[in-house]
């Protein structure tokens, strides 16, 4: 699946990923008004799905992938989860790669259930069928190898990929992740594990199907980890609303402008509420505002890459 992601990045000439972290409060009133349902959660989930579809319609020709943060769907119970599934399905129908930001992990037998649910297929009394059928998911490393192997097996069996949390973008990520371990930091040790897990799952373009999550808000660590993990693709959240700039994320790329996908969520899906786009687009045109921000972001990153002497895509 990493090969397909790289192909899409080159095809769209864009390493940015739209984060569909859609909360009901982001959805303009005119979208909500059109939705009905038997419960407030059904209405909310329906409105979020419609919002997402409009964003996908606007951006799918310009980005390789979307990242869907499942927490914002779990907020609305089972109808929310169904909206998550249908959002993923709709994005895939438009040729987009879908990264499920689920940050799951557990002991082996339970991790196997998560891997089956999100990447593989659910066993039934006769046969099996996919519950979500995503392309990539994010995985938490705290439980070690036997919490990750079921995901790796699903990657092999179904041609999928994962991104393992190494250094997250939040302010307190250092409390645990930066603890000193044998002359290094904990995140370096986790990075070593990710490299090890990824070795048996190499794609054909120099990168493993086992990637890593490294926050844009820690540019120094990003640079360090790029050097330590030359065959690991990075999913870099934290650009935009969380404060990461294009300059911060440049060191996550290789010499060809590959090796990293940059996620922006709120700065794109809420663009219609933020300067400079809110002056140009009404809430009715929220999807156009999202596209405008996606194109601006692409420019921003391409310019930063060119300034660093990297001629990308």
Site for a second copy in 74-113 (CB under 8 A): 74-82, 85, 101, 103-108, 110-111, 113
Stretch that binds a second copy, among 57-65, 139-147, 224-232, 297-305 (CB under 8 A): 139-147
For residue 24, the tally of other CB atoms under 10 A from its CB is: 18
Is residue 28 close enough to count as binding a second copy by CB under 8 A?
no
Give the span between the Cα atoms of 252 and 214, in whole angstroms.
9
Pairing of strands 122-123, 128-129: antiparallel
The DSSP code for 173 is G
Residues identified as active-site = 103
Please check whether residue 118 is in contact with residue 137, taking contact to mean a CB–CB distance below 8 angstroms.
Answer: yes
- Residues sharing a CB contact under 8 Å with residue 144, sequence separation 6 or more, in sequence order: 193
Give, as ranges, the residues between 192 and 231 that touch a second copy (CB under 8 A): 193
Task: For a second copy, give the closer residue by CB, 258 or 270.
Answer: 270
Q: CA angle at residue 69 from 56 to 58, to 5 degrees?
A: 10
- The number of residues that bind a second copy (CB under 8 A) is 71
Interface residue with a second copy, options 57, 93, 176, 200 (CB under 8 A): 176
Q: Which is nearer to a second copy, 44 or 264 (CB)?
A: 44
> Alpha-carbon distance 111 to 67, whole Å?
21
Q: Tell me which residue of 201, 241, 212, 217 sits closest to 138, measured CA to CA.
A: 212
Torsion angles phi and psi, residue 282, rounded to 5? -75, 165
Residue 252 has which token pair? 């996550």
* Binding segment toward a second copy, per CB under 8 A, in 5-13, 172-180, 200-208, 248-256: 172-180
- Out of 7, 146, 157, 299, point to the residue binding a second copy (CB under 8 A): 146
Cβ distance to a second copy smaller for residue 231 or 263 = 263
Based on the shown chain and the rule CB under 8 A, indicate whether residue 169 belongs to the binding site for a second copy. Answer: yes
Element (H, E) at 197: helix 186-199
User: Cα 172 to chain center, whole Å?
Assistant: 20
Distance in Å, CB of 278 to a second copy, minimum: 21
Q: Which of 13, 37, 93, 123 binds a second copy (CB under 8 A)?
A: 123
Residue 140 binding a second copy, by CB under 8 A: yes
Site string for a second copy, 233-272 (x = CB under 8 A): ----x----x------------------------------
Q: Is 273 in the site for a second copy (CB under 8 A)?
A: no
Compute the distance between CA of residue 246 and CA of residue 304 in angstroms, rounded to an integer: 6
Rounded CA separation 125/104 (Å): 26
Q: Which of 95, 171, 230, 255 binds a second copy (CB under 8 A)?
A: 171
172 makes contact with a second copy (CB under 8 A): yes
Q: Does 37 bind a second copy (CB under 8 A)?
A: no
268: nearest Cα among 313, 307, 237, 247: 237
Interface with a second copy (CB under 8 A), residue from 57, 159, 181, 306: 181
């Amino acid at each position: 699946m990493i090969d397909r992601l790289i192909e899409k990045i080159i095809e769209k000439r864009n390493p940015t990923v739209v984060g569909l972290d859609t909360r009901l409060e982001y959805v303009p009133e005119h979208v909500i008004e059109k939705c009905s349902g038997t419960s407030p959660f059904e209405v909310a989930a329906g409105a979020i799905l419609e919002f997402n579809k409009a964003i996908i319609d606007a951006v799918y020709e310009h980005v390789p992938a979307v990242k869907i943060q499942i927490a914002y769907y779990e907020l609305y119970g089972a109808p929310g989860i169904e909206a998550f599934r249908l959002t993923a399905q709709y994005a895939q129908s438009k040729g987009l790669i879908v990264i499920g930001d689920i940050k799951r992990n557990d002991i082996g037998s339970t991790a196997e259930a998560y891997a089956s649910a999100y990447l593989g297929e659910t066993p039934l009394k006769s046969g099996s069928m996919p519950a979500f059928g995503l392309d990539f998911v994010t995985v938490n490393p705290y439980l070690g190898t036997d919490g990750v192997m079921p995901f790796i097996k699903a990657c092999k069996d179904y041609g999928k990929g994962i991104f393992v949390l190494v250094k997250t973008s939040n302010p307190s990520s250092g409390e645990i992740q930066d603890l000193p371990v044998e002359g290094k930091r904990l995140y370096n040790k986790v990075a070593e594990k990710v490299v090890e897990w990824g070795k048996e799952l190499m794609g054909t373009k120099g990168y493993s199907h086992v990637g890593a999550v490294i926050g844009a808000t820690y540019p120094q660590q990003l640079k360090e980890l790029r050097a330590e993990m030359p065959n690991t693709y990075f999913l870099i959240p934290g650009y935009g609303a969380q404060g990461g700039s294009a300059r911060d994320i440049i060191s996550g790329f290789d010499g060809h402008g590959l090796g990293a996908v940059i996620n922006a969520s709120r700065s794109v899906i809420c663009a219609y509420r933020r300067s400079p786009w809110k002056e140009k687009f009404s809430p009715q045109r929220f999807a156009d505002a999202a596209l405008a921000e996606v194109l601006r972001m692409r420019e921003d990153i391409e310019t930063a890459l060119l300034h660093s002497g990297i001629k990308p895509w």
